[in-house]
Chain A
Amino acid sequence: MKLPRSIRVIERGWLSANNIVLEERSEAVVVDSGYVAHAPQTLALLERALAGKKLARLVNTHCHSDHMGGNAAIQKKFGCAISIPQGEAPAIDNWDEQQLILAVADQRAQAFSYDDTFRDGDVLQMGGLDWQVIAAPGHDTHAVMFHSPEARVLISGDALWENGFGVVFPQLFGRETALAETRATLEAVGRLDVDVVIPGHGPPFGDAGAALERAFHRLEGYEQDIARLARHCAKVMLSFSLLEKRSMPLAELPAYVARVPILAELNSRYLRMTHAAMAEWLVNELERAGAAGRREGLLLARGE
Chain B
Amino acid sequence: MKRDEAPAGDVQSPCNNVCRMNPDSGLCEGCLRTLDEIAAWSGLDDDEKRAVLAQLPARRTAR
Contact B16 A301 (CB under 8 A): yes
Q: How far is the CA of A66 from the CA of B43 in the complex (A)?
A: 22
Among B1-29, those with CB < 8 Å from A are 1-9, 13, 15-21, 28
Q: Chain A nearest CB: distance from B46 CB in Å?
A: 11
Q: Which residue of B lies closest to A64 (CB)?
A: B1
Q: Return A232 CB to nearest CB of chain B, in Å.
A: 7
Question: Bound state CA distance, A162 and B42, in angstroms?
Answer: 15
Contact between B7 and A166, CB atoms less than 8 A apart: no
Choose from B4, B9, B20, B43 the contact partner of A41 (Cβ within 8 Å). Answer: B20
Does A163 lie within 8 Å of B8, measured CB to CB? yes
Q: Which residues of A contact B6 (CB under 8 A)?
A: 290
| CB–CB A38/B20 < 8 A | yes
Q: Which of A11, A42, A161, A302 contacts B42 (CB 8 A)?
A: A11
A202–B20 CB distance below 8 A: no
Chain A contact-residue range equals 35 or more
Contact A10 B7 (CB under 8 A): no
Assess whether A289 is in contact with B4, with CB atoms less than 8 Å apart.
yes
Interface string of B20-59 (1 = CB under 8 A from A): 1100000010100001101101110000000000000000
Residues in B neighbouring A38, C-beta threshold 8 A: 19-20
In the complex the two chains form, is B39's CB within 8 Å of A203's CB? no
The residue that B4 contacts in the complex, of A12, A35, A203, A236, with Cβ under 8 A, is A236
A6 to chain B, nearest CB (A): 12
Question: Are A162 and B7 in touch, CB under 8 angstroms?
Answer: yes
CB contacts (< 8 Å) of B28 on chain A: these are 41
Chain A residues packing against B (C-beta within 8 Å): 3, 8-16, 18, 34-35, 37-38, 40-42, 44-45, 48-49, 64-67, 101, 139, 158, 161-164, 166-167, 169, 201-205, 232, 235-236, 239-240, 243-244, 246, 285-286, 289-291, 301-303
10 A–B pairs (Cβ distance < 8 Å), ordered by A: A3-B43, A10-B42, A11-B15, A12-B15, A67-B1, A169-B1, A201-B3, A203-B7, A235-B4, A236-B1
